[in-house]
Structure 1
């Protein structure tokens, strides 16, 4: 079985080499569709051996991705963006699943590196080169709808997902968003789609979340609630149909199988959308100082039957909400649950440390901060709070060392905090100017 990398790109000369380098020893061909670059993006792709084609951008990601698919010659297709990397650890699993006969689509876990919210997502980026698979929606283009239509006609196919981290995505870092004007591009594409699909839960979720993140809380809340109303009705319809959709362990993969009704294979996707809607409604209500409403939405998100890694954001935000309300033991439980799902969840260790500090459990707090720093050596706040707790238990030298590390890191990104911290330590007689 052969596999092709399939990409659309524009002005990605900085990011593209890392992306192509992550797959060059794995894929059999690289298809790169350039949509109007003015830099060296096409030349870089050719230097990696990619087959470069050209396409005039039409403000629709699906149209461009479908144009790229036409050039694929392999049995399987792997779709990446230039700001994504394929993890080496997932390659053996992909090779194994390509040898099976029953799967048409395999979802991969993607880490949103540097994202303020939602550290993981499940993306449909690995699928067979089937003539009827196509992307739909102008932004956040998906093949899921076409796959569902295929399974209705060819019910022997199944959809699955691979355990473990498959893709690293750095495009949600603030600098990358600002540099590429991503919010403006996303909003324009989704508004065009929303005009003709005003109640589509997926676009309501994505555009609503975008509004909330960019400060348009009221507009975002309205869209998210509209999407929730529609998605809840769809989910209830699926549940009442008697469909039995579940994940089953099979060697390297877990299966989302259409065991009773082929047309119901998308109920897990519906739960994913429901999760996102509840999750972002929780964020919106937190911004609006409605903690009880936020609590309801986070708890609803956590109860949904989706891949546990996707719930980390909800557990973390729920913990923050409970900690702010003074319910420290419940907050501790929320953070601990998140860390059971992902022991490398840096924010979970830091927030658990903050909870231990508030409970007066200083040694436990120190351990949490140290773990967070080990996982992220550039975590200024973790160093700073480590310094606070070390000082509380009388470890003055260890405290000063932690504070100095915090100051160095703050000076790079938050010079005002560095100045404030340095002044405070000077007044306490711990450091000299």
Structure 2
């Protein structure tokens, strides 16, 4: 891992791997806090590198100090889930795997909450990172596969990495968006046909409010892929995914990187939603969720599609979208809440109650779920149950949203319920 001023997050990260890995290599790029001391307390071998605004350079420097057979890459704001460790042990024991793709969850995110990352790979001399931001090993791996036909790419089901660094407060505090945009814009200037950078930089511009610039990049990236201009030596890792026991059989064009194509359609969906062009937004989301990619990656697409249909009054299609999202991820709290809202609007009160209760079981502090549960229970005449739900909602709102707590309390009082 590479680090800089990570004393707050580093203990959790290293604590998640200390009893599993044989070696911890930490490359410090200029910390002024207790980062290096904390790393050493966990037994890490700490090395130093002068930061040059290029993540790939730093990651490749860190690779020089690795002595193990397999390499797991983490950032300080990430942690390894305990459930994935037995699966990793089993996968790396197999002779055929060169890289194992891992599912990463963006904690607290409803927009693209999951991604597939190539963070576990053999200590192969020809594997290296490329790109100054969002550093990847993918291009070097594809070059190896073209020369050495004995290798396969694997993936593990289930969440392997938890990531907190994309939460809005963290991004704002560390000025991550501006740093990322500067690094990617410089790279894009020299690689104008790189669809991956178009996707990442275009999405970042959207987040920064640069709608026109973002859409231009996203459409440019889309044209690069649909125009079949992806080079033969840059085929996606996704097309080589395997489970631990058998290959994933999907018929698709091997020259197209469907993971990038999904992201381009997904972020164009967000762009057109911001521009109030809902038909175009729906079209892009529908194109995104039809692509042959790892199902968890489609979660945000189905959820956003459901939101658009709901806002347009097409509750039946919204219900299907939310139900599909929940089927993909039975722990998708937001999906259950949204399903409850659309079922309530359709008058399907029993289904709405089930959906709200599922959301509450997964997140007992979900004030809005309690509040809307109270509304539905009141509609079916369960006054006592409704009051209990409203009381929970008010108590939770008082902690985080006092104005809403007061508004809800006043409304119930005016109805003669309080």
TM-score, structure 2 normalization: 0.94
- 2:76 match: secondary structure: coil
Distance 2:229 2:323 in 1: 30
Q: Give the unaligned 5+ runs of structure 2.
A: none
The aligned counterpart of 1:34 is 28
Q: Deviation at 1:210?
A: 1.4
The aligned counterpart of 1:396 is 383
**Does 2:289 match 1:289?**
no
The aligned counterpart of 1:151 is 145
The aligned counterpart of 1:301 is 288
**Stretches (4+) displaced over 6 A:** 235-238
Match of 1:405 among 364, 378, 392: 392
Residue pair 2:352, 2:376 contacting (<8 A) in 1 also: yes
Q: Deviation at 1:400?
A: 2.4
Quick check: 45-54 or 181-190, which moved more?
A: 181-190
**Does 2:50 match 1:56?**
yes
Query: How far does the alpha carbon of each residue in 1:216-254 deviate from its partner, in whole angstroms, 9 at most, with x for none?
Result: 22221111111111122237887xx9xx95655443x75
The aligned counterpart of 2:15 is 21
- 1:77 match: secondary structure: strand
Going from structure 1 to structure 2, the CA distance change for 1:197 and 1:237 (only over 3 Å counts) comes to closer
The aligned counterpart of 1:205 is 199
The aligned counterpart of 2:401 is 414
The aligned counterpart of 1:346 is 333
Aligned pair count reads 414
Distance 2:362 2:301 in 1: 21
Residue pair 1:183, 1:210 contacting (<8 A) in 2 also: yes
Going from structure 1 to structure 2, the CA distance change for 1:309 and 1:408 (only over 3 Å counts) comes to same
Q: Deviation at 1:353?
A: 0.6
- Report matched runs for 1:349-368 at 5 Å: 349-368=336-355
The aligned counterpart of 1:232 is 226
Residue pair 1:139, 1:186 contacting (<8 A) in 2 also: yes
CA RMSD of aligned residues (A): 2.3
Q: Deviation at 1:429?
A: 2.7
- 2:117 match: secondary structure: strand
- 2:309 match: secondary structure: helix
Query: How far does the alpha carbon of each residue in 1:258-283 deviate from its partner, in whole angstroms, 9 at most, with x for none?
Result: x9x9xx5x74xx10000000011101
Residue pair 2:154, 2:240 contacting (<8 A) in 1 also: no
Distance 1:20 1:101 in 2: 28
Match of 1:126 among 109, 120, 123: 120
- Report matched runs for 1:159-174 at 5 Å: 159-174=153-168
Match of 1:328 among 306, 315, 333: 315
